[in-house]
Amino acid sequence: MRLKDKVAQIFSLAGITINGNSPSDIKVHDERFYRRILSNGSLGLGESYMESWWDVPNLDQFFEKFLGARLHRRVKPTLYLILLVIYSTLFNQQNKKRAFIVGEKHYDIGNDLYSLMLDKRLTYTCGYWPRASTLDEAQEHKLDLICRKLGLKEGDHVLDIGCGWGSFAKYAAEKYRVKVTGITISKEQAILAEELCKGLPIDIQVRDYRDIEGKFDHIVSVGMFEHVGYKNYREYMEVAERHLKDDGLFLLHTVGGYDTTHIPDPWIDKYIFPNGMLPSIPQIGSAIENLFVMEDWHNFGPDYDKTLMAWHKNFNNNWDKLKGKYDERFHRMWNYYLLMFAGSFRARYNHLWQIVLSKNGVKGGYTSVR
């Protein structure tokens, strides 16, 4: 069978036609595309898009179909993927020496990019859309949802693991009059966060979560656990348990995977989030066993589809302001990243979980907040 026919057969399982007329059908510009994706899988698919070997009218719809059909289960693993499995098994890709790589490669690439793409508070995580009509509203509602789930009260000291540009810290300090210690592995995030949070009882620190000091009334981790890695899930939870006061709550906000994996996606690992990995329900369950009581598990993954599409719109609406610094290859790469993830949440392949944990169980039971 010709390479083109093999690829066409695989795509047909998801209702995708090569050179078809649907918004989700791909247009192939370079015949090398077929060998590239059969040899390199997701890495080849993403790189060939970055190099303009193929296009599709709506990338998000393409990935909704592609991931919705779970095609990865129907394709034999590539040599690259096999080697990645071996490497991931033998080595801890998210150890302390490597913890700052994602900060340097992703979060430090330019505050200008994120300022133009995100909401006014620079919140780089899923918004909460049930009663929101704009990105700004969705992010405000998400931040308030976290505060209400934790039951914050004036004077509390909250630890924010992976504080980003300080959006949660600033919101919680302003609206709930709490003190916040935020840690990040991005130097650029820390510089801007300190500026944005000036005058508030907020301490921004550049450090790895394994170097945290002190005890806190509550702990939040918003969009950080995806960078921890399966070899470190248990240690991460032990750190949180150790630094949380006995009557405090720990809210874990993380993207979660449809199935359990021990390797990152090759394209995402190389170009977007080095050493990133999505946890599964069993992995989180194992990590918290005998450490925490699971009080509440809230899945609002479809809201991330809306959030990513809003980021995509902002990014492209502001591309003229960015293209002097970022080239067209980056433009295609970033669109691929945003729309691939949007499609993954729409297909219910990826999820967004907010999990509320306590050390000893909330007396009388925890009342879920939505």
Domain residue spans in the chain?
3-76, 99-303+348-358
Residue 162 has pLDDT above 70, yes or no: yes
Q: What is the pLDDT of residue 84?
A: 61
Residue 90 has pLDDT above 70, yes or no: no
- Quick one: average pLDDT of 96-124? 90
Residues near 31 by Cβ (< 8 Å), separated by ≥ 6? 4
Residues near 213 by Cβ (< 8 Å), separated by ≥ 6? none
Q: What is the pLDDT of residue 86?
A: 67
Q: What is the pLDDT of residue 82?
A: 66
Lookup: tokens for 46? 């993403």
Q: Among residues of the chain, what percentage have pLDDT more than 70?
A: 94
Q: What is the pLDDT of residue 77?
A: 67
HSE of 364 in the Cβ direction (CA atoms, 13 Å)?
A: 1
At residue 94 the predicted structure's pLDDT band, cuts being 50, 70 and 90, is confident
Residue 93 has pLDDT above 80, yes or no: no
pTM: 0.94
- Asked whether 255 and 354 are in contact (CB, 8 A), the reply is no
At residue 219 the predicted structure's pLDDT band, cuts being 50, 70 and 90, is very high
Please give the mean pLDDT across all residues of the chain. Answer: 94
3-state secondary structure of 26: coil
At residue 89 the predicted structure's pLDDT band, cuts being 50, 70 and 90, is low
At residue 263 the predicted structure's pLDDT band, cuts being 50, 70 and 90, is confident
The CATH fold assigned to 99-303+348-358 is Rossmann fold (3.40.50)
Dump pLDDT digits (tens) for 310-355.
999 999 999 999 999 999 999 999 999 999 999 999 999 999 999 9
Q: What is the pLDDT of residue 103?
A: 82
- Asked whether 284 and 355 are in contact (CB, 8 A), the reply is yes
HSE of 5 in the Cβ direction (CA atoms, 13 Å)?
A: 2
